[in-house]
Chains A and B, each alone.
Chain A
Amino acid sequence: MIQNEMSRRRLLGLGVGLGAAASLTLTGCGGGSSSGPSGSAGNGGKDYTGPKVDLKLWNGFTGGDGEIFKALVQQFNSEHKNIAVSVVTYEWQDYYSKFPGAVSSGSGPDIAVMHMDQLATFAARGSISELDDVAKTLELSEGDFAPTVWKGGLYNDKRYGIPLDMHPLGFYYNKAVMQKAGLDPEKPPTTKDEYTAALTELKKSGVQGFWVSPFQFTGGMTFYSLLHQWGGKLFDDEVAKATFNSDPAVEACTWLVDLIKQGHSPANVGQDADYLAFKSGKNAFNWNGIWQINDLKKSPNVQWGVAPLPQIGTQQAAWANSHNFTIVKQRAANENKVSGAKVFINWLSQHSLDWAKGGQVPARKTVRDSAEFKALTEVNALAPELEYAAFPPATPGLGEVILTFYNAFNEAALNKKSPKQALDDGVAKANKQLEDNRKKYGN
């Protein structure tokens, strides 16, 4: 053990910074442009009658949702004798850094699950195929899905993703803490006045009710939602300029940061501290992802409820993202594989009720309207947010620009800069990044 550690350390020393260059090189060896026919194979996913195909599927479902997904895939495999799907799971963070290298070296998956905000990046990079024919053959249209989710799968008017679900930010409230402060635990606040009144009551009972995290999870996503509630946008319509320093954005940021000054939140909230404090009854409200429902269900001594985000600004809005199915372009195209993949995507989309049990809102309307889904109380509680969910725009390379947005909020929430200053600085940097992206992706 000691020797291992020593050699590891020495390697670090020898590798110097070049180690990083070297590892980039290794993934770069694959090189080459990946090109293939854009999804013209088969009959668009109705059925598949060709020879047996093996399909590789990549996803990032590392939590309880991964088990549910695997069970679905097993069911699919047993119902389709000539298609065998095998699942590979990575952490989302690793997933997106491994994906490009794997695809260009020909060892990538056939089907990839991706977040909606990544679709444009990978479509522009030519790693995923158009799926318009799948939508057409299966007679899927906007009416079958929520419009916000359905449109998110488009890039340059072409469809690249078939939405599986959507996962919005929800409003979690701790019933026990509310009760102690004399609030009705069955009536969580829904408006700005109710919200601030509740926080005041909580403060009287000695509880800092709503901890404002300075990090993307969850403070950044909270601010993202508020900015849209105030009527702001992160970018202009062409996504040429960042606009998150507009007056509504600054107002939203100021409202949130002022909660710290007013004593409704401690300063310097650490990563995850807001959620841990919520679970242990140190605060009452937490705006967090729908995925926490499953975690809270495992904690029987926390009395909690979940509702759509209260409307603090002039309109309703909530941060949200969505998992989409994509078909990966291969260096050596295999039409049978592509049509097999389409059958799988269609089948899973129809079976997404089981997926809802993994803690996500199904994208398909028929599934959402079914009695079985309505029986999933907590997940169903967040379904209304689908109508006003604020998804990020479909522009390639936007991931890093949105991180600049979150970092700007970080500086404001940690009181390093005033909200206006922090957002102005963030926008200046974001505009440079957007310009770089335009050069790189040529649009």
Chain B
Amino acid sequence: MADVIEVGAARDGAPPPAGPTRGRGATQRGNRATPYLFLAPYLVLFGVFGLAPILFGVWISLHQWDLQLPNRPFLGLDNYQDLFSSDSAIYGDWWSSVRATGIFTLFSVPLLVVIPLGLALLLNRSFPGRTFFRAAFFAPYVLGVAVIGLLWRFLLDANLGLVNRLLGAVGLPADTPWVTDVPWAWVSLVGVTVWWTCGFNAVIYLAGLQDIPAELYEAAKVDGAGGWDRFRNVTIPGLRPVMLFVFTTTILASANVFGQAFLITQGAPGEQTRTVVWRIVDEGLRDYDAGRAAAMSVFFALMLAVVSVVNFRLFRYRED
């Protein structure tokens, strides 16, 4: 077990051969400013389009900020307090949107981590038509959210949709409210998202699988390891960095869900499937309350940052 991990870890950290040593020598001889000059183009972009807006966003969140109203009184932490005080007009909506995003993330992430792994394992074998299937599973991801949203809204319509008609044809209940009632709306949203994006994760896994040297599998075979043992002791450790990437990006992407709910369920029933990002957009761009929207964004970003840190810790812990 231990040496297998070492191999994986070593591969991960191995520098590309030859090049860097020469490069390092040149840096020592060159100007001290050289590395900063190389970094400068990105730093400028990051500063202007990344850091500055973030800081400005935090600043906005401390005000009652309307793009057009001349007075923008400083409120301190009032906007944040509103998120936690049950008397405020936004309290109910805010927490119901956090709940909606939480439910969606909780159910979509495990599926989006496991199903693409299975797909990648299948697509990594050699069989006739492999390239076709690789393309076929990836295809939905190429479509925009507007396309898949409208498509599935009509397919899943309780009274006119194809899905219920097919279910009825095989003797199953034909009146399931796929987009207008919970828990069905969650089944639809998670299902559609998995169908839509699992190809992307599968491609990442596939690349990871092809990075695992064949000798390891051969050696394991010689040692008498069966298929399951090889998967558990060679494939999984070899995929660890890839899994960390997939896990992190999937959590973040799922937490940012907006288009699917906006188009497929339209928040119904009531506002139960209205998500956080949707809430923020409404607050900022529909109700023109940039202060509250910024407070929501900052708070939400902090929540996601915590989740990501835990996530990284978890994976590193296992590695130790």
Contacts and interface: CB of A to CB of B under 8 A. Distances in A.
Given A97-B286, A270-B160, A21 B294 contact: yes
Contact of A268 (B158, B287, B300): B158
Contacts of B299: 17
Contact of A429 (B68, B92, B157, B161): B92
A376 interface: no
Interface stretch (B124-132, B214-222, B269-277): B269-277
B27 interface: no
B102 interface: no
B66 A440 contact: yes
Interface string A410-443: 1100101000000000000100110110001000
B270 A20 contact: no
A413 to B, nearest CB: 9
A179 to B, nearest CB: 23
| A27, A96, A273 interface centre (most CB from chain B within 10 Å) | A273
B177 interface: yes
A28 interface: yes
A400 B90 CA distance: 11
Given A28-B290, A433-B89, A10 B297 contact: no
Contacts of B298: 17-18, 21
Contacts of B65: 28
A26 B290 CA distance: 11
A34 B282 CA distance: 23
Contacts of A34: 68
B269 A215 contact: no
A5 B277 contact: no
A270 B159 contact: yes
Contacts of B284: 20, 24
Interface string A395-415: 001011000000100110010
Interface residues on B, range: 35 or more
B297 A100 contact: no
A22 B55 CA distance: 9
A266 B67 CA distance: 44
B83 interface: no
B208 interface: no
Nearest to B302: A17
Interface string B233-267: 00000000000000011001101100000000011
A20 B53 contact: no
B48 to A, nearest CB: 11
A273 B160 contact: yes
A1 interface: yes
Interface residues of A, number: 62
A97 B304 CA distance: 27
A266 B253 contact: no
A103 B50 CA distance: 25
A19 B54 CA distance: 8
Secondary structure at the B interface, as helix, strand, loop or mixed, is: helix
B79 to A, nearest CB: 12
A20 B287 contact: no
A12 B158 contact: no
A250 B256 CA distance: 37
Given A25-B53, A269-B159, A270-B180, A9 B67 contact: no
B67 A27 contact: yes
Contact of B277 (A10, A17, A97, A214): A17
Nearest to B300: A17
A277 B159 CA distance: 9
Interface string A94-133: 0011001101100000000000000000000111000000
A407 B288 CA distance: 20
B190 interface: no
Contact of A125 (B58, B68, B252): B68
Nearest to B282: A400
A396 B153 CA distance: 34
B195 interface: no
A140 interface: no
Contacts of B296: 17
A9 B200 contact: yes
Contacts of B268: 214-215, 410, 414
| B255, B270, B289, B297 interface centre (most CB from chain A within 10 Å) | B270
Contacts of B253: 9, 12-13
B225 interface: no
Contacts of A101: 67
| A17, A18, A26, A97 interface centre (most CB from chain B within 10 Å) | A17
A371 interface: no
Interface string A251-278: 0000000000000001111110100110
Contacts of B270: 407, 410-411, 414, 416
B181 A266 contact: no
B53 A270 contact: no
Contact of A432 (B53, B67, B89, B282): B89
B304 A17 contact: yes
Contact of A269 (B138, B158, B252): B158
A6 interface: yes
| B92, B249, B268 interface centre (most CB from chain A within 10 Å) | B268
Interface of A: 1-2, 5-6, 9-10, 12-13, 15-28, 30-31, 33-34, 96-97, 100-101, 103-104, 125-127, 211, 214-215, 266-271, 273, 276-277, 282, 397, 399-400, 407, 410-411, 414, 416, 429, 432-433, 435-436, 440
Given A28-B56, A270-B158, A282-B160, 6 more contacts: A2-B138, A2-B203, A20-B284, A33-B68, A267-B177, A416-B181
The 9 closest A-B pairs by CB, nearest first: A21-B57, A22-B53, A33-B70, A432-B89, A17-B300, A268-B177, A97-B285, A21-B297, A17-B301
